């Protein structure tokens, strides 16, 4: 019986670790993902060391709940430094109970990745992108934003 309990604990721990896995992304990989015509994407570019970014994270948790079961995907693209990936970032996500999907931005050459996301981006954080490939909607906001503002953008994106 003890062996079954211990084995169950190892399996559950393994599933928990797997559920918290944060994939590494490039601009090309993200852009390719956003071409899905059946989903509106809300991408927030942030970092755990960015005060305004951290302050607005609850807005994205709120959006995740508001759009549950709908064709809207919230993705948090972390710009945390390479030495924080994946251990420190995974710990941070768990500690803050962040529910949207988190990806780690692996690119460092802003001259290469910025034009792939939005030509008007200065590279500042936080920044949020709302995209719908079906309607060809693309709005980029380089400042803190509220869930209410994003919900209005999503409504526009799905018209």
11 belongs to a structural domain: no
Q: What is the mean pLDDT of residues 88-95?
A: 96
74 belongs to a structural domain: yes
SS (H, E, C) 94-148: HHCCCCCEEEEECCCCHHHHHHHHCCCCCCCCCEEEEEECCCCEEEEECCCCCHH
Strand, helix or coil for residue 140: strand
Residue 106 φ/ψ, nearest 5 degrees? -95, -10
Joined tokens for residue 39: 């989903």
pLDDT of residue 1: 52
Bridge partners of 101, per DSSP, are 75
Angstrom CA distances, 136 to 97, 130, 133, stand at: 33, 11, 5
Q: What is the mean pLDDT of residues 8-30?
A: 67
79 belongs to a structural domain: yes
Q: What is the mean pLDDT of residues 82-91?
A: 96
pLDDT of residue 20: 57
pLDDT of residue 10: 41
| Global pTM exceeds 0.85 | yes
Whose structure tokens read 């064709």?
A: 71
Joined tokens for residue 93: 């996500």
C-alpha–C-alpha distance, residues 94 and 114, integer Å: 29
Host domain of residue 118: 23-157
pLDDT of residue 2: 52
Total domain count for the chain?
A: 1
Residue 143 has pLDDT above 80, yes or no: yes
pLDDT of residue 18: 39
4 belongs to a structural domain: no
151 belongs to a structural domain: yes
Confidence of residue 149 (pLDDT cuts 50, 70, 90): very high
**pLDDT tens-digit series, residues 21-73:** 999 999 999 999 999 999 999 999 999 999 999 999 999 999 999 999 999 99
Look up the CATH number of the domain holding residue 115.
3.40.30.10
Q: Which of 148, 111, 157, 2 is nearest to 140 (CA)?
A: 157
9 belongs to a structural domain: no
């Amino acid at each position: 019986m003890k062996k079954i309990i211990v084995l169950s604990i190892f399996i559950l721990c393994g599933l928990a670790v797997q559920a918290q896995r944060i994939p590494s992304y490039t601009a090309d990989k993200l852009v390719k993902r956003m071409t899905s015509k059946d989903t509106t994407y809300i991408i927030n570019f942030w970092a755990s060391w960015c005060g305004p970014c951290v302050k607005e994270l609850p807005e994205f948790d709120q959006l995740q709940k508001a759009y549950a079961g709908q064709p809207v995907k919230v993705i948090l693209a972390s710009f945390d430094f390479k030495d924080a990936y994946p251990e420190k970032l995974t710990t941070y996500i768990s500690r803050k109970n962040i529910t949207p999907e988190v990806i780690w931005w692996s690119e460092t050459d802003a001259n290469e990745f910025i034009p792939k996301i939005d030509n008007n981006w200065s590279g500042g954080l936080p920044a949020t992108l709302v995209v719908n490939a079906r309607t060809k909607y693309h709005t980029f906001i380089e400042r803190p934003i509220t869930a209410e503002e994003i919900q209005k953008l999503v409504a526009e994106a799905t018209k």
